[in-house]
Structure 1
Amino acid sequence: MSYYSILEVTPTTDVWVADYIGPANKIVAKYGGKYLARTSTHERVEGQGKEPALRIIIEWPTRQAAIDFMNDAEYAPHLKARTEGSISRHHLVAAKDDLA
């Protein structure tokens, strides 16, 4: 079953961004992930709260692929840089409809 990473990222500094993109792209691909969206173009159509600067959606072939990506030793320094240089939330969502 596919899973989706839904990330909300608001950089607090941009010093990490240039060194993050290339390696993250490579490691996402290593685990079969595919970026569906990486954009600051988003709008709220319901609810309230502070908007993140970026919304990122990654499709994974399995839950384990997403977990393996997050635990990859090569990704660890980039994850550390992102979490220290931003306010980030990362949700993993199963591609299923529990209400059908």
Structure 2
Amino acid sequence: MLDGVRQEVLDELAGKMAGQAPPKQPMSWLFRVIELAAAGQFVPDAGRAVAKERERRSREEAERQLRAVEVGRQAARVADPEELARRRAVSAAAAAALAYRT
């Protein structure tokens, strides 16, 4: 069985188990679905929502990790001595410009 079909079968099982009428004999149900998948006759139904939810969570986790990396980069820039010196120089120049105007 192909890996993609394996995941679809597992998603279908998860969807059925979470549904309003889960299989009374999950192992028998699973073996039957595996037989259908091996014969190329498996058509996912309840597993589609499970797959979409897994993909959504995966996207959210990837976005969270990207944000964490960006926060780390920003923190590194702030802690960089050269960046601190540059910011102090900009602040000093701004303060001098404000003092000059008054």
- In which range does the TM-score fall when normalised by the shorter chain? under 0.3
TM-score normalized with structure 2 length: 0.24
Q: Identify which of structures 1 and 2 has the higher relative contact order when contacts are C-alpha pairs closer than 8 Å and 6+ apart.
A: 1
* Structure number having the greater strand percentage: 1
Structure having the higher Rg: 2
